[in-house]
Amino acid sequence: MGRFVPVHHEAHDDCFAEEASQVLAGNGLRVTRPRRAVVELLERSPRPMGAADIHQELRTQGIRIDRASVYRVLAVLEAQGLVHRVLSAQGYMACHPPTHLHLHGGTEPADHSCHHHLVCRACGRTLETHCDGLRGLIDTIVERTGFQVEGHVLEIVGTCRECRQK
């Protein structure tokens, strides 16, 4: 079973914003104020945020951005793999490029950087974990079904340690 490395989102360092800028610039996209603001907001958020949440929070912070722009910015960031749509929470979350959409490289060796989400029902926070044990399971499925795996999503719902202790 693989190594387990819990990473709480609040603990992210700010280098992601810069990393995001490089990805955008490297793809001929501009690093604008709204884009940077969304990236930084999602990076700091302990939980996935929906388009409406993002819009409201940025306005609260005094950043002038239109609702339509939030959608456009999210579309661009998602296409660049800088943001990931967290499914069951219908929200978006910052996502470092290496874990790019959970997509595995085609015929490349196993990607052990895949991460999963632990969503706490009580406090709503999402913890991110890294654990390559899933890879073996997926390999088994590939072997038995002939299914060619391009990506996966594993989301675990429950109660985090802190909330259990209350």
Partner DNA sequence: TTCTGTGCAAAAACTTTGCAAGCCG
Partner DNA sequence: CGGCTTGCAAAGTTTTTGCACAGAA
Task: Note whether 34 binds DNA by CB under 7 A.
Answer: yes
Task: Note whether 29 binds DNA by CB under 7 A.
Answer: yes
Q: Shortest CA distance to 160 belongs to which of 47, 50, 44, 84? A: 47
Q: Shortest CA distance to 40 belongs to which of 66, 58, 60? A: 58
| Contact between residue 94 and residue 12 where contact means Cβ atoms under 8 Å apart | yes
Q: Which does 18 bind (CB under 5 to 8 A by kind): its own copies, DNA, none?
A: none
Sign of the CA dihedral with 145 first, then 147, 155, and 157 last: negative
Stretch that binds DNA, among 24-32, 94-102, 115-123, 135-143 (CB under 7 A): 24-32
The two tokens of residue 107 are: 């015929």
**Which chain residues interact with its own copies by CB under 8 A?**
1, 4, 6, 87-88, 116, 118, 120-121, 127, 129, 131, 133-134, 136-138, 140-141, 144-161, 164
User: Which residues contact DNA by CB under 7 A?
Assistant: 25, 28-35, 50-52, 64-69, 71-73, 75-76, 90
